[in-house]
Amino acid sequence: MTTAHLTCDLPLPNHRRGKVRDVYDATMNDGTPVTLLVASDRLSAFDVVMPTGIPGKGAVLTRLSKFWFDRIAAELGDAVPHHLLSVDAGDIAGLDDDQQAALRGRVMLGRRAQVVPIECVARGYLAGSGWKEYQQSQTVCGVPLPAGLKQCDRLPGPIFTPATKAATGHDENVSFDRAARAVGRPLMERLRDATLRLYALGRDHAAERGIVLADTKFEFGFPLDAQGNPGDTPILIDEVMTPDSSRFWPSETYAPGRDQDSYDKQFVRNHLEGLVDAGAWNKQPPGPVLPDAVVVATQSKYKKAFEALTGTPFVVHDGCEPA
């Protein structure tokens, strides 16, 4: 286990800190203005960022996103354009060698975009908030579903279930109509089509690798030109089909009617639920320090997800920390 990258303080403008990424406006050495996304090793659970990080997690998320962006470009091409221009820290102008070295393996340089404030979720299986809603109303985000489905059952077909991007706290599931009223119906129809195509690509690839992609979330934005004006065609931004934005289950042990083993943060969540049951934490910040055993187990889950999906070992190169 190596040290986790938790903070990031670069001499670049417009620094925003998300739960996992530090985001900046940057310029590439060739003069292209970009959004710089630095993936930290921070881990959030129940929307609270834990004080303990998972070494190597930021690099896993970055490499896995890069893997998917390449496949998306190869298979969908112009039908679903994306933001990723480079994952090479050496392409960022204005940083010295040490600053670049500290970022290797965990940066994405994306086209600057005006973010569409809707989380575009595709679900192929009935889990999480979808399962909760189904039990109450036989719907998910207002989409009616057949009776008699069990927890984690495969849905008759994948569904699009948008959520509003809340500035703080929990994102809220909304109906397609409500999302369409918020940002415009033609845009939402386009994003729904793109989301379902992307999900199908990911699900089919994952299935070949022995993994169920139960659901996943995408973000889109309008690319900004040099004057900061948004273009007309939305592009896929942010991270793509990582354990942070998706539910992955090993196919081998998948069975509906119960919770699934997963490659995501379930291990941390179970640990935290134990603390909550014992009255030691109330799901409010600050989160508790995580024990080494939980960190190591979670680290190995992220690594396994990467290796299973890409078919390549998660190796140390580009100076990135070993996982």
Ligand X SMILES: Nc1ncnc2c1ncn2[C@@H]1O[C@H](COP(=O)(O)OP(=O)(O)OP(=O)(O)O)[C@@H](O)[C@H]1O
Distance CA 310, CA 303 (A): 11
* Chain residues 222-241 in contact with ligand X, contact rule CB under 6 A: 237-238
Distance CA 216, CA 59 (A): 19
Position 19 contacts ligand X (CB under 6 A): yes
Q: Which of 54, 89, 113, 159 binds ligand X (CB under 6 A)?
A: 113
Residue nearer to ligand X on the CB measure, 113 or 140: 113
Residue 198: both structure tokens together: 């992307």
Residue nearer to ligand X on the CB measure, 37 or 64: 37
Residue 249: name the closest of 312, 314, 304 by CA: 304
Position 112 contacts ligand X (CB under 6 A): yes
Position 23 contacts ligand X (CB under 6 A): yes
* Chain residues 162-191 in contact with ligand X, contact rule CB under 6 A: 165
Shortest spacing between CB 136 and ligand X, in angstroms:
25
Residue nearer to ligand X on the CB measure, 45 or 212: 45
Position 21 contacts ligand X (CB under 6 A): yes
* C-beta nearest to ligand X: residue: 18
Task: Lay out the site mask for ligand X across 41-80 (x = CB under 6 A, - = otherwise).
Answer: ----------------------------------------
Q: For residues 131 and 58, is the Cβ–Cβ distance under 8 A?
A: no
Cβ-based neighbours of 184, under 8 Å, separated by 6 or more: none
Query: Hunting for tokens 């990467």 — which residue is that?
Result: 306
Residue 103: both structure tokens together: 């970022």
Judged by CB under 6 A, the number of residues near ligand X is 18
β strands within 12-80, DSSP E: 16-17, 21-27, 33-39, 44-45, 48-49
Shortest spacing between CB 23 and ligand X, in angstroms:
5
Distance CA 263, CA 246 (A): 9
Q: For residues 109 and 89, is the Cβ–Cβ distance under 8 A?
A: no
Shortest spacing between CB 58 and ligand X, in angstroms:
10
User: 72: number of CA atoms within 13 Å, CB side?
Assistant: 29
Residue ranges binding ligand X (CB under 6 A): 18-21, 23, 35, 37, 83, 110-113, 115, 165, 219, 221, 237-238
